[in-house]
């Protein structure tokens, strides 16, 4: 997972510190062990993890430690970390988190949840994700009380080229849903994602409406959006929806937000409903399949290289990357290529969040000032964009007067333009050397 902000930052910091103390120790005394468990307990509670969940978690870690005889192990610290990791994965849900599609024909997915938790946004994000996986999704607007809600879904649908079914605000919801399903089948869609209405409180009318839709369409999945910013109450909300609807999965939204995250850690353990996706931002692409093992690893400061590579493959324009690589290998590196590579790497998120994906680099990542790095990239981009195509192709043609014009156009100083030109020259030289080596290797 790649977040602009990782809500488990402070938990991660505390746990890493605690576990670092025991790592590499040849022997672990009973007192060391007790202290470590106590520190883990405090870290979890301070991060807002449900009290009972913390208690159960520590009990399991303790039992496992006795069972696997940590105190007499060759590398006791390492073994303890493994046990904590395994229990964390179990806490987050070690079962399969996939969507269960109908064996054939149309799969129906209902998105339910409290008002403002991100139903409509996740409905569109999910359609986008499934479309990328080769499915043919359709969206159904079942939140028909406010015309604005229908428009919101339509706007999102337009963005991703997914059809949105709606008969406006006058026709009854159930009739619309029934028609929508028939329409989807007739049109050969294989997934229908139903965006339902939210309420501020869990009221009976809403619940009845949801139950009626459920009884009508027998959805393969009922996904509940829960807002990670809600705090402890998230667990109660999830329980009441689950009691009534038998929810099949959770989407934790606003996972990129500024909360302590502990409530999100507890929700699977308390409700027994698996987390299937996390919403990690407002963009359509900000929905991720949930991988308990990867999150556990990140929380324990072990990085998450797998997600990083996946993200890079998804977000980067591979064709452009290839073009740039070919340019490089031919020894033709222009300012446009530089601009391109900056834009590609920016898509992956702030530098610090990229570094956190790398094992053992979380400390360094915390020291990086993203807004400085970001400003520098913005400056470079503005400078390149103020150049003429010919200048971008070959910056050596620029005279002082050109540089003054560019500095003015980009709101920077001539020094900045010179600095960029120097950096560019160095990179170009480097790539030239690389391309002359190309003949020695088979690329």
Ligand X SMILES: Nc1nc2c(ncn2[C@@H]2O[C@H](COP(=O)(O)OP(=O)(O)OP(=O)(O)O)[C@@H](O)[C@H]2O)c(=O)[nH]1
Q: Which residues lie near Mg ion (CB under 5 A)?
A: 119-120
Which sign does the torsion angle of CA 228, 233, 238, 241 carry? negative
State in angstroms the smallest separation of the CB of 322 from ligand X: 31
Footprint (CB under 6 A) of ligand X, residues 188-227: 198
Among 214, 254, 260, 268, binds ligand X (CB under 6 A): 254
CB 193 within 8 A of CB 213: no
- Of the two residues 190 and 288, which places its CB atom closer to ligand X in the complex? 288
Cα(433)–Cα(36) distance, integer angstroms: 52
352 binding ligand X? (CB under 6 A): no
282 binding ligand X? (CB under 6 A): yes
- 352 token code pair: 């610090």
Return the range that interacts with ligand X (CB under 6 A); candidates 31-39, 96-104, 253-261, 332-340: 253-261
DSSP string, 217-279: H--SEEEEEEEGGGTTHHHHHHHHHHHHH---EEEEE-TTSSS--HHHHHHHHHH-PPEEEEE
- Of the two residues 107 and 253, which places its CB atom closer to Mg ion in the complex? 253
State in angstroms the smallest separation of the CB of 150 from ligand X: 10
Nearest of 84, 72, 66 to residue 20 by alpha carbon: 84
Among 121, 166, 230, 353, binds ligand X (CB under 6 A): 121
- Using CB atoms, what's the residue nearest to Mg ion? 120
117 binding ligand X? (CB under 6 A): yes
Return the range that interacts with ligand X (CB under 6 A); candidates 90-98, 110-118, 202-210, 377-385: 110-118
CB 275 within 8 A of CB 93: yes
- Of the two residues 120 and 386, which places its CB atom closer to Mg ion in the complex? 120
- 119 token code pair: 């139903």
Return the range that interacts with ligand X (CB under 6 A); candidates 206-214, 232-240, 277-285, 328-336: 277-285
State in angstroms the smallest separation of the CB of 241 from ligand X: 13
Return the range that interacts with ligand X (CB under 6 A); candidates 10-18, 278-286, 347-355, 416-424: 278-286
- 376 token code pair: 């520098």
Q: What is the dihedral of CA 197, 202, 207, 209, to 10 degrees?
A: -30
CB 173 within 8 A of CB 110: no
State in angstroms the smallest separation of the CB of 238 from ligand X: 15
């Amino acid at each position: 997972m790649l977040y602009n902000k990782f809500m488990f930052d402070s938990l991660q910091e505390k746990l890493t510190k605690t576990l670092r103390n025991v790592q590499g120790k040849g022997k672990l005394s009973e007192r060391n062990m007790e202290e470590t468990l106590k520190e883990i307990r405090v870290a979890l509670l301070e991060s807002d993890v449900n009290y009972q969940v913390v208690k159960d978690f520590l009990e399991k870690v303790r039992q496992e430690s006795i069972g696997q005889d940590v105190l007499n192990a060759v590398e006791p610290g390492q073994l303890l970390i493994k046990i904590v990791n395994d229990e964390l994965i179990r806490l987050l849900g070690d079962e399969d988190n996939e969507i269960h599609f109908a064996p054939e024909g149309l799969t129906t997915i209902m998105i339910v949840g409290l008002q403002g938790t991100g139903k409509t946004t996740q409905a569109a994000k999910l359609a986008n994700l499934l479309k990328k996986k080769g499915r043919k999704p359709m969206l159904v607007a079942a939140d028909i009380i406010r015309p604005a809600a229908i428009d919101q879904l339509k706007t999102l649908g337009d963005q991703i080229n997914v059809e949105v079914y709606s008969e406006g605000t006058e026709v009854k919801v159930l009739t619309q849903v029934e028609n929508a399903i028939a329409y989807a089948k007739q049109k050969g869609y294989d997934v229908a994602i139903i965006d339902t209405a939210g309420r501020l409180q869990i009221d009976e009318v809403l619940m009845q409406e949801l139950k009626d839709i459920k009884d009508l369409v027998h959805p393969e999945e009922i996904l509940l959006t829960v807002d990670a910013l809600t705090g402890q109450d998230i667990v109660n909300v999830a329980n009441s929806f689950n009691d009534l609807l038998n929810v099949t999965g959770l989407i934790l939204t606003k996972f990129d937000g500024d909360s302590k995250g502990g409530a999100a850690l507890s929700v699977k353990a308390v409700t027994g409903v698996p987390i299937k996706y996390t919403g990690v931002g407002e963009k359509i692409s900000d929905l991720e399949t949930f991988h308990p093992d990867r999150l556990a690893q990140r929380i324990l400061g072990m990085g998450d290289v797998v997600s990083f590579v996946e993200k890079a493959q998804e977000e980067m324009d591979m064709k452009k990357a290839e073009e740039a690589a070919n340019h490089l290998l031919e020894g033709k590196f222009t300012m446009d290529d530089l601009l391109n590579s900056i834009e590609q790497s920016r898509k992956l998120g702030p530098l610090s969040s990229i570094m956190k994906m790398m094992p053992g680099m979380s400390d360094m990542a915390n020291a990086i000032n993203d807004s400085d790095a970001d400003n520098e990239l913005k400056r470079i981009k503005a400078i390149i964009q103020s150049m003429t195509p010919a200048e971008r192709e070959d910056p050596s043609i620029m005279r002082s007067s050109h540089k003054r014009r560019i500095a003015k156009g980009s709101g920077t100083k001539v020094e900045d333009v010179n600095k960029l030109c120097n950096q560019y020259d160095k990179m170009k030289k480097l790539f030239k050397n690389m391309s002359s080596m190309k003949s020695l290797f088979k690329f």
